[in-house]
């Protein structure tokens, strides 16, 4: 049981060293970066993160065969893509998941708790 | 000799050819690794003759890492965990608009590595016994330690950050039930954590998810150059192929490394590409280019990646000791078709043994050639807008994370490690180092404990162990040693 604590101790010591080094160099870099602006607004970051996290509850509730094409459609349409492109890519995703993964390769796919 | 050409029999060849595109698809799809492929394809061979059955499975498995190298270099998403090493330089090449050339480098070196591994299998299958039997628990420990030492070599940022990443990886590998004592560690009472973290969710989360996040945030494409500067298509791939003869010494060196690591059972071939990368960087005339799109950084790991498969077949066939986890599954396939690998197998089924070696060689040539033809077109995907690719790639990654164990828990892990991978990307911490530490940490601890129990504290006093320890010290301090030698030479010169 001592080995994990030894490894953890090494990590903490190195991280503290790194924090000290970064604080020392941070003050020099602050003045250089004052003029720079963030290229993406915060709202875009939050939206991107939201889409990233949303896939997990979608798959959990609806299962892969429903969630995958639905997620692709929503992610494309709600982010400004055209109807036809969103439907096309969502359909292609659904076809691939069903015929490619489920039927041909027999990859096990979660079915979704809503359908239980 | 008949065995070498028996793969061209009408009963075997169709199955071999069927396995190749399936293996490539599994390789291209993130998370669907060699293990998943074998597990899903095994039921198909029930009741078949051994020759076609094993040719089908082995052909599919032999080309998985070739397929995975394409996703790794084009999208920074490892098709399988061992492909993560090729991403370090392959993806920067793609970002510079050299995706076609990167694919040419990766696939061609994979083909040659695979052929090398197959030839070694043919040449050594009856001679390998003394080599494998001379490796014991202390040697496995020092081999794991040697692999971990490459953490210091992998990154282009500070060595301290690389070591921090690697040590965190070692720490993560310790979560779960301790293999020697059965004591659960850091499981917090969770049954799912008893098995620890799976390597597929960790690799997908660390590497693939941050790329998806970047695609969600960006308004551009993966390739960050103007279309007029793009280097895709058949010409670009040919350029990548032409790089190989110019770097043939490196291809050979890395193939040897991959084969040797593959031969040693218990180490796990996943480390071979990282070791080959580390040695290539240490011995290169231009080490400063590694991490910024060096073709040597693509050629070395991918040669080793495919060479290790031929190597890992050696102990599997010769002793019935699986050279890797995929080989353990393949042994299940052997039993399914009524054959038991081991010393008697070589005597009673010599032709079959040779046919498996030629399967590895033929599958690598065919699968690699197919990818080279398609590679230029696949490289064009890097010019599609990130907004279009992101949701599709994300769903593929999530199903890849789920498919290994059929557990939604693994999908959660992919998302969680994705957040960690994003933070590491933003703060410039080395993700391949973390993966390497994760793969080897638990192994090193296990073999250290077993060696101590078996031999006491003098377990390292063995010739091969001392050699490996010396190699580890060299890897860690070769930069300083070189600087010291140069300084001494200058003083002598004055």
Tell whether A61 is covered by a domain: yes
Residue-level length of chain A = 116
Residue B12: closest CA among B34, B36, B45, B61? B45
- Secondary structure of chain B: what % helix, strand, coil (to 5)? 80, 0, 20
Q: Tokens 């084969």: give the residue.
A: B259
Q: Which long-range contacts (CB under 8 A, 24 or more apart) does B320-327 make?
A: B320/B345, B321/B132, B321/B265, B322/B265, B323/B262, B323/B263, B323/B264, B323/B265, B323/B269, B324/B262, B324/B265, B324/B268, B324/B269, B325/B35, B325/B268, B326/B34, B326/B35, B326/B38, B326/B61
Residue B131: closest CA among B238, B237, B261, B222? B261
pLDDT of the residue at A35? 47
State the Cα–Cα distance between residues B40 and A106, nearest whole angstrom.
Answer: 7
State the Cα–Cα distance between residues B366 and B19, nearest whole angstrom.
Answer: 11
The SS3 call for residue B429 is: coil
Tell whether A5 is covered by a domain: no
Q: Does B185 touch chain A (CB under 8 A)?
A: yes
Point out the residue among A60, A64, A76 whose CB comes nearest to the CB of B399. A64
Point out the residue among A7, A21, A45 whose CB comes nearest to the CB of B174. A7
Our CA angle for B80, B148, B143, nearest 5°, is 95
Residue B303 near residue B254, CB atoms below 8 Å: yes
Residue B266 near residue B281, CB atoms below 8 Å: no
Q: Do B185 and A1 touch (CB under 8 A)?
A: yes
- Quote the domain boundaries for residue A47: 42-115
CB atoms within 10 A of CB B165: 28
Among chain A residues, the shortest Cα distance to B181 is held by: A1
What ipTM does this complex have?
A: 0.83
Residue B10 near residue B356, CB atoms below 8 Å: no
Among chain B residues, the shortest Cα distance to A19 is held by: B161
Residue B151: closest CA among B438, B436, B445, B469? B436
Q: Count of domains in chain A?
A: 1
pLDDT of the residue at B66? 92
Answer whether residue A78 shows pLDDT above 50.
Answer: yes
Handedness of CA B396, B379, B78, B414 (dihedral sign): negative
DSSP A111: -
Residue ranges in chain B modelled with pLDDT below 70: 1-3, 31-33, 35, 129, 132, 152-158, 219-232, 266-268, 343, 379, 382, 478-479, 482, 493-494
Residue B100 near residue B305, CB atoms below 8 Å: no
Bridge pairing between strands B184-185 and B176-177: antiparallel
Our CA angle for B449, B451, B455, nearest 5°, is 130
State the Cα–Cα distance between residues B53 and A7, nearest whole angstrom.
Answer: 45
Q: Does B398 touch chain A (CB under 8 A)?
A: yes
Distance from CA of A34 to the nearest CA of B (A): 19
Point out the residue among A4, A80, A108 whose CB comes nearest to the CB of B403. A108
CA–chain centroid gap for B410, Å, is 21
State the Cα–Cα distance between residues B95 and B73, nearest whole angstrom.
Answer: 10
- Strand-pairing partners, residue B176, are B185
B43 sits in the region (left: phi over 0; alpha: psi -120 to 50; else beta) called alpha
Among chain B residues, the shortest Cα distance to A52 is held by: B213
pLDDT tens per residue across span B309-355: 888 888 888 777 777 777 877 887 887 788 877 767 777 777 888 88
Tell whether A100 is covered by a domain: yes
Predicted structure pTM score: 0.76
State the Cα–Cα distance between residues B119 and B124, nearest whole angstrom.
Answer: 8
Q: Do A7 and B161 touch (CB under 8 A)?
A: no
Query: How confident is residue A91, by pLDDT bands cut at 50, 70 and 90?
Result: very high
pLDDT of the residue at A92? 92
Main-chain dihedrals φ then ψ at residue B176, nearest 5 degrees? 120, -170
What lies within 8 Å, CB to CB, of B446 at 6+ separation is B179, B180
CA–chain centroid gap for B454, Å, is 31
Residue B292 near residue B89, CB atoms below 8 Å: yes
Contacts B22 to A, Cβ<8 Å: 105
- Strand-pairing partners, residue B221, are B385
Q: Which element (helix H / strand E) includes B438?
A: helix B431-455
- Strand-pairing partners, residue B184, are B177
pLDDT of the residue at B252? 95
Q: Do A59 and B398 touch (CB under 8 A)?
A: yes
DSSP B190: -
Tell whether A108 is covered by a domain: yes
Average pLDDT over residues A48-69: 88
Tell whether A36 is covered by a domain: no
CA–CA distance from B222 to each of B166, B216, B238, B378 (Å)?
A: 27, 11, 22, 13
Q: If interface means Cβ-Cβ distance under 8 Å, which residues of chain A face chain B?
A: 1, 3-4, 7-8, 10-11, 14-15, 17-18, 21, 40, 44-45, 48-49, 51-53, 55-56, 59-60, 64, 67-68, 71-72, 75-76, 79-81, 85, 89, 93, 97, 101, 105-110
What lies within 8 Å, CB to CB, of B436 at 6+ separation is B147, B148, B150, B151, B154, B166, B169, B271, B274
Tell whether A2 is covered by a domain: no
Residue B110 near residue B254, CB atoms below 8 Å: no
Over pLDDT 70: what percentage of chain B? 90
Tell whether A22 is covered by a domain: no
Tell whether A82 is covered by a domain: yes
Point out the residue among A4, A8, A110 whose CB comes nearest to the CB of B402. A110
pLDDT tens per residue across span B380-439: 776 777 778 888 888 888 888 887 778 888 888 988 898 899 888 888 888 878 888 888
């Amino acid at each position: 049981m001592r080995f994990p604590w030894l490894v953890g101790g090494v990590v903490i010591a190195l991280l503290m060293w790194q924090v000290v080094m970064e604080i020392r160099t941070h003050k020099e870099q602050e003045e250089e970066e004052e003029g720079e602006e963030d290229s993406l607004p915060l709202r875009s970051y939050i939206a991107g993160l939201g889409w990233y996290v949303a896939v997990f509850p979608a798959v959990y509730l609806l299962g892969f065969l429903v969630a995958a094409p639905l997620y692709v459609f929503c992610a494309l349409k709600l982010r400004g893509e055209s109807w036809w492109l969103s439907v096309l890519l969502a359909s292609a995703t659904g076809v691939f998941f069903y015929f490619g993964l489920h039927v041909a390769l027999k990859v096990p796919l979660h079915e979704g708790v809503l359908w239980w | 000799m008949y065995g070498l050409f028996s793969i061209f029999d009408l009963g075997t060849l169709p199955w071999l050819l069927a396995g190749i595109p399936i293996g490539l698809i599994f390789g291209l799809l993130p998370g669907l690794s060699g293990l998943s492929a074998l597990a899903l394809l095994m039921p198909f061979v029930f009741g078949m003759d051994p020759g076609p059955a094993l040719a089908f499975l082995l052909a599919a498995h032999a080309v998985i890492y070739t397929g995975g190298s394409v996703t790794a270099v084009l999208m920074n998403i490892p098709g399988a965990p061992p492909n993560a090493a090729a991403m370090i330089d392959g993806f920067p090449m793609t970002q510079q608009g050299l995706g076609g050339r990167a694919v040419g480098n990766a696939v061609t070196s994979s083909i040659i590595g695979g052929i090398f591994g197959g030839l070694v299998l043919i040449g050594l299958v009856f001679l390998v016994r003394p080599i494998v039997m001379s490796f014991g628990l202390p040697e496995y420990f020092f081999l794991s330690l040697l692999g971990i030492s490459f953490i210091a070599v992998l990154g282009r940022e500070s060595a301290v950050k690389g070591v921090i990443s690697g040590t965190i990886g070692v720490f993560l590998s310790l979560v779960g039930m301790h293999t020697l004592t059965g004591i659960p560690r850091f499981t917090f009472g969770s049954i799912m954590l008893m098995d620890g973290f799976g390597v597929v969710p960790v690799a997908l989360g660390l590497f693939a998810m941050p790329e998806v996040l970047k695609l969600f945030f960006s308004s551009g494409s993966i390739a960050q150059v103007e279309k007029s500067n793009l280097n895709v298509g058949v010409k670009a791939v040919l350029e990548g192929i032409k790089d190989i003869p110019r770097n043939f010494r490196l291809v050979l060196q890395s193939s040897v490394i991959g084969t040797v690591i593959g031969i040693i059972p218990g180490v796990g071939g996943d480390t071979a590409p990282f070791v080959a990368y580390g040695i290539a960087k240490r011995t290169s005339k231009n080490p400063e280019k590694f991490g910024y799109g060096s073709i040597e950084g693509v050629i070395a790991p991918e040669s080793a990646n495919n060479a290790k498969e031929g190597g890992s077949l050696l102990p599997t066939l010769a002793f019935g000791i699986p050279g890797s986890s995929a080989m353990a599954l393949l042994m299940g396939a052997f039993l399914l078709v009524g054959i038991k690998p081991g010393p008697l197998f070589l005597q009673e089924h010599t032709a079959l043994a040779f046919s498996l070696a030629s399967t590895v060689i033929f599958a690598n040539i065919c699968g690699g050639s197919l990818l080279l033809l398609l590679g230029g077109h696949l490289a064009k995907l890097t010019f599609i807008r990130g907004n279009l690719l992101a949701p599709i790639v994300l769903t593929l990654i999530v199903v890849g994370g789920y498919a290994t164990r059929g557990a939604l828990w693994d999908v959660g892990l992919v998302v969680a490690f994705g957040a960690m991978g994003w933070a590491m990307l933003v703060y410039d911490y080395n993700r391949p180092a973390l993966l390497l530490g994760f793969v080897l940490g638990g192994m090193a601890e296990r073999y250290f404990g077993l060696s101590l129990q078996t031999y006491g504290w003098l377990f390292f006093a063995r010739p091969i162990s001392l050699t490996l320890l010396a190699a580890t010290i060299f890897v860690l301090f070769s930069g300083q040693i070189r600087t010291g030698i140069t300084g001494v030479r200058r003083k002598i010169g004055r």
